[in-house]
Structure 1
């Protein structure tokens, strides 16, 4: 078969083009090696549950209950006053498990109150013995939108805010129970089922890391979004993040925090300046990340570019405030609480009452000890 020179030339061009196309496809699907995580010695410095004073060196503590672990920790520290509050919290926690839904808020609140006192006492945070929070129902039908909660600049709740570096604006701050429940990550799915018209406030993430560039001696927060949330729509609700173009980002987004911290760590031995820079950076960014108490790692990024309903307070602060309002109804007005539990938002309130105890105590335990906790029977 005779093939003229033009045909051979066209065939060569076609082969070269195909080879180039194949090379480009391979380059696109090639998984790039992840950026290096920051380390101290041989240990990677990872996101921790504690917001203040996390212990980055200890391994995750495997336990089905943090009560005894924290008790032994406080005994070792010889802090009898904090230990007494912790014992009170545990007794109220155990009592809560035996009560019905109308009574649980009362003992739950006193569990949270005493656990908070244990934390503030151990961490030497001054606080007024008042509760620092009150509630009332405004005129109208019984609805969580009409339940108002007021936070004051003095009291146990204010002490918790001070510990978490949260400010209370003015002589008081007023929120609705509805908005507070909207801002709690551990019942957010239940909230969205009850109020599907409101946008989701939390974006689930697959991984959270602190990475660095050796040459530039800088580090930053890197977050991998779950694939179904990797969209421009989700990204538009986040301020201060951008897509890291180092990665492919075709199946899921890898985001980088635009702000950075100094990280000069020859042979994984960070300088004192780098450690201080990271600590400040960690505090500012850890408060924007939330986790759900679970056998698995469940971290979430809170959207910060929504116009309605966002409260810039921690999960601990909002949980204590919401439970105080429900405890008031449980103690003084159980008929109103029963009506709340029987109407459309009843399931949401029940989810809050049931789940908040485990979430709150897990978080307080981490703040007291600096450790991370995980239930047994799962890999860390």
Structure 2
């Protein structure tokens, strides 16, 4: 219930009484019904097929508009020169052929991804990371190809995995870049904390979580990150410990393993949230109510955008600079800014969390999309499955590794969380599980 002095006007939509946060980051289909299914992968298959049918059913003028709207999305990756030229010239024949090719190839990658996904269900936890990674890799390719940003680079380095594992005890650390707690990119050897990992005698069958790193290169990993405006640099490195700490569906397990209390956690659970308009100024705004067990010291430490409006108890409102005019294109950037500050846990009803803008208890907000985080983590874990299974075995052994439970929780739940989010991003739809599931 929204307090009277925080009253907001709901936005009336075709199928909703108000406009809630949606799972897709870009261009959420806010007026459509939720998709109730226990398997979003089959809906995505149907979605790709429907896009190919649309090519034959639309008129020429309508088809040009349809294709131009598809390729002119909010993501930040550059379209290739040929596609941009065809869009500018409105070359229907070339655009139709290109769109058909992108949808067909994306559908192929998706089919591959789902076969890997299904294969993980009955696998042992020591084998799962390999299958999960190839599911994630092919699903990421489907997303990128469908949006036209992996086309002319099919035979170049941009279709490589784009990430590799590092053992920082045995490499030249001066070559790498790292994100600091202030979210700056610096050379590795400029950071005294990270540089304290000294070369030492290495037991190749054992390693701790905070000694696991990945390095970005040109390829799918960086392209996926930059698709979501994450600005990933070549040779930038990430700690698996930091990456895991930025995933909401294991944040409770991470906090327990690390001994982090409520105040020191990165994620704040929300009881409710919605977009609306200010009753007096007609300004577009975002309202949220936090879980009663949590408290906010200052809102500026939590969300670092737009204008803070007011609060009462655990109710808050953030006001945009834009007036509401029934045109959602005018407020897309505000909606995206808000969405990027949140993660959710998929289920019958998604549980939404707000991420703190400032670091806390040695947890850095990396400002990376969870799809990017998961792809990087499982590339590293899959390397152990392939090349050093004894190392993975020891990582998952509770007698040898105090974070083994955390890693098991991650491996058991990651594929479904990834599937739910990337299905939403491809289709722009909202997926919920049936209540009887």
Q: 2:414 aligns with which of 352, 356, 372?
A: 356
1:11 corresponds to which residue? none
1-structure distance, mates of 2:12, 2:322: 14
1:206–1:117 Cα change, 3 Å: same
Q: Is the 8 A contact 1:187 1:352 kept in 2?
A: yes
3-state SS of paired residue (2:275): strand
Q: Does 1:301 align with 2:354?
A: yes
What CA distance in whole angstroms lies between the structure 1 residues aligned with 2:379 and 2:115? 18
Paired residue secondary structure (1:228): coil
Partner of 1:39: 12
Q: Retained in 2: the 8 A contact 1:240–1:259? A: no
Choose from 311, 314, 324 the match for 2:369: 314
For residues 111 and 41 of structure 1, do their structure 2 counterparts lie closer, same or farther at Cα, with a shift above 3 Å needed?
Answer: closer
Does structure 1 residue 65 correspond to structure 2 residue 65? no
Q: 1:146 aligns with which of 196, 211, 216?
A: 211
Structure 2 gap ranges (5+): 53-102, 170-201
Q: How does 1:161-172 map to 2 (within 5 A)?
A: 161-169=225-233, 171-172=234-235
- Give the number of the structure whose alpha-carbon radius of gyration is greater: 1
Deviation at 1:38? 2.6
Give the secondary structure class of the aligned counterpart of 1:77. Answer: helix
2: CA distance between counterparts of 1:234 and 1:64? 39
In structure 1, runs of 5+ residues without a counterpart are 1-28, 265-269
Which residue pairs with 1:224 in the alignment?
A: 289
Return the alpha-carbon distance in structure 1 between the equivalents of residues 374 and 303 of structure 2: 25
SS in 2 for 1:227: coil
Q: 1:8 matched to which residue of 2?
A: none
Which of 386, 389, 398 pairs up with 1:331?
Answer: 386
CA distance in structure 2 between the aligned counterparts of 1:345 and 1:338, rounded to whole angstroms: 13
**For residues 13-46 of structure 1, what are the alpha-carbon distances to aligned partners after superposition, in whole Å with 9 as ceiling and x for unaligned?**
xxxxxxxxxxxxxxxx986684112334674322
Q: Give the whole-Å Cα distance in 1 for the aligned partners of 2:352 and 2:395.
A: 30
Change (3 A) 1:239 1:87: closer
Judging changes above 3 Å, is the alpha-carbon distance between structure 1 residues 30 and 225 closer, same or farther for their aligned structure 2 residues? Answer: closer
Tell me how large the CA RMSD over aligned residues is: 2.3
Q: Hey, what's the Cα distance between the residues in 1 that align with 2:390 and 2:345? A: 31
Q: Deviations over 1:62-100 (max 9, x none)?
A: 001111111111111122211111111111011111211
Map of 1:195 onto structure 2: 258
Q: Shift in Å at residue 240 of structure 1?
A: 3.5
Displacement of 1:236 in angstroms is: 6.5
The one-character-per-residue Cα deviations of 1:218-261 (angstroms, maximum 9, x if unpaired) are 111111111111x243747414488754x6x34xx111225443
Distance 2:334 2:237 in 1: 30
**How many corresponding residue pairs?**
336
2:334 counterpart (248, 258, 281): 281
Say whether the 8 Å CA contact 2:283–2:320 is kept in structure 1. Answer: no
In the alignment, what sits opposite 2:402?
Answer: 344
Q: Tell me the SS of whatever aligns to 1:320.
A: helix
Q: Work out whether 1:100 is the aligned partner of 2:119.
A: no
The correspondence for 2:164, drawn from 112, 121, 134, is 134
The CA distance in 2 between the partners of 1:234 and 1:143, in whole Å, is: 35
Partner of 1:290: 343
Larger mean Cα displacement after TM superposition, 334-343 or 210-219: 210-219
Report the alpha carbon displacement of residue 172 of structure 1 after superposing the two structures with TM: 2.4
* Deviation, structure 1 residue 148: 0.7
Is contact 2:8-2:279 (8 Å) kept?
Answer: no
Question: Hey, what does 1:157 align to over in structure 2?
Answer: 221
Alpha-carbon distance in structure 2 between the residues aligned to 1:225 and 1:370: 26
